[in-house]
Amino acid sequence: MKKPEILSPAGDLNKLKTAFRYGADACYMGMPSLSMRVRENEMNKDDLEESLKLKNELGKKIYLTMNIHAHESRLNFLEKEIERLTELHEKDLSPDGILISDVGILAVIKEKCPWIPVHISTQANILNSSAVEFWAKQGVERVVLGREVSLRELQKIRSTLKEKGIEVELESFVHGAMCIAYSGRCLLSSFMTSRCANEGMCAHSCRWKYKLHIEEEERPGQFMPIEEDENGSYIMSSKDMCMIEHLKDLIDAGLDSYKIEGRHKTEYYVAVASRAYRQAMDLAMEGKPPTPEILELVESINTRGYMTGFWYGKPSAEGQNYEDRGNYNDHFCFAGIIRIVEGNKVTMEVRNRLNKGDRLDIITPEKNIPITLSSFNNAKNGEEITEASAGQEFSITFEVDEPVEVGFVVRKALKN
């Protein structure tokens, strides 16, 4: 059986390194002017070149996103990106695929950059075997199925393609935020903030707090509230997808690539999600469920609450979070990142408030190393301090008993 791929988000070069370090087989990252997460993917020429060199050295893969629905003016940006891709190709630095949803961009890329495999983005709303077959006939090597596809439908799509002798890879999301709109085609952000979600500038307006009222035709001006508390209502805020306990079902159904959402999230999120799914996948390939430690790791990520998306049928009211924007991790927070290691002394960039006596876990790709922050120093001047706050890349130094590496993330326990 072909080894399934763990595909992690990489919003920038540091997150790419983190994802690879913690077990991702591949990462997806954006071309700034043509990506659905353009604000989170300001990937300059040097960073992109270094990213492609790194994946070649590690034997990993990188997929670039050009998955916006482009207006005519955006084609000018496409020309510039093609120039950049051509220059990289001449240096033997090409991505392993480009995610596209716009047929116009597809046509140009196939003509100008025929050496790059094309993947069709989830934005193309692919929900059935006929659609997959159509794209395969256009020379596409991989199709990212819409989040609305169920496990039963995936099984049928795969079996139909096999019967017809059609070879194309199937990718789908297994973890992360769900969009209120069909395959992410949302106009709410554009209406509320003039930032178009389909051009990579989503303001996540669906997560906002709203005051809702109804007005009866014969009673103009008399607004009656609809179920809400003192905080308002969050009727458009979906829970997050988590398939960590069901990977064996997806393996059996024939899914090739297991995608984790979250290019705009932190290195901590990328590290924890990548490690959890790497370890869970390795166990699933042996027919084993994830361990309690893996499940605890996933629960330590900030979330709006978890559900299984559409995989086992259309979500009911249980799939929505009506109470708040959601932050159901009250046990841990992102403490920082190890930046320097000198023997048993480490320097950590601080990402949350820390105090003397805090319990920390250094998250390695294999295990957690618990420590108590009994003493630490200001990394800049060596002064011993008892508290530290995040900001301006402030760092502290402290000692550890076990070997650690630069780039390891650290979490802080919020409860004893």
Does 59 reside within a domain? yes
Are both 104 and 38 inside the same structural domain?
A: yes
Q: Are residues 258 and 399 in the same domain?
A: no
84 falls within a domain: yes
pLDDT digit string, tens, across residues 132-151 = 999 999 999 999 999 999 99
pLDDT tens digits, 209-222: 666 566 667 777 77
Does any domain span residue 210?
no
Task: Please tell me whether residues 287 and 382 are part of one structural domain.
Answer: no
Residues 246 and 378 in one domain: no
- Mean pLDDT over each residue of the chain, to the nearest integer: 87
d(CA 206, CA 189): 8
Residue 40: predicted pLDDT: 44
Last residue of a domain, one of 294, 319, 344: 319
Domain end, chosen from 290, 319, 348, is at 319
User: Is residue 279 located within the same domain as residue 341?
Assistant: no
Question: Are residues 146 and 21 part of one domain?
Answer: yes
Q: Is 341 helix (H, G, I), strand (E, B) or coil?
A: strand
Q: Does residue 306 sit in the same domain as residue 402? A: no
Q: Per the structure block, which two tokens stand in for 172? A: 């789908």
CATH assignment at residue 119? 3.20.20.70
Local structure of residue 122 (DSSP, 8 states) = G
Domain annotation covers residue 18: yes
- 256 and 405 assigned to the same domain: no
* Domain end call among 258, 287, 319: 319
**Do 300 and 411 form a contact (C-beta atoms < 8 A)?**
yes
* Same structural domain, 296 and 370: no
- Cut 0.75: pTM above it: yes
Instruction: Name the nearest CA neighbour of 190 among 71, 78, 302.
Output: 71
**What gap in Å lies between CA 6 and CA 4, rounded to an integer?**
7
Residue 10 and residue 125 share a domain: yes
Q: Are 109 and 100 in contact (CB under 8 A)?
A: yes
For residue 345, list its beta bridge partners. 342, 399
Mean pLDDT of 251-258: 97
- Domain encompassing residue 405: 332-413
Is pLDDT at 297 greater than 60 in this prediction? Answer: yes
Check whether residue 350 and residue 256 sit in a common domain: no
15 or 329, higher pLDDT:
15
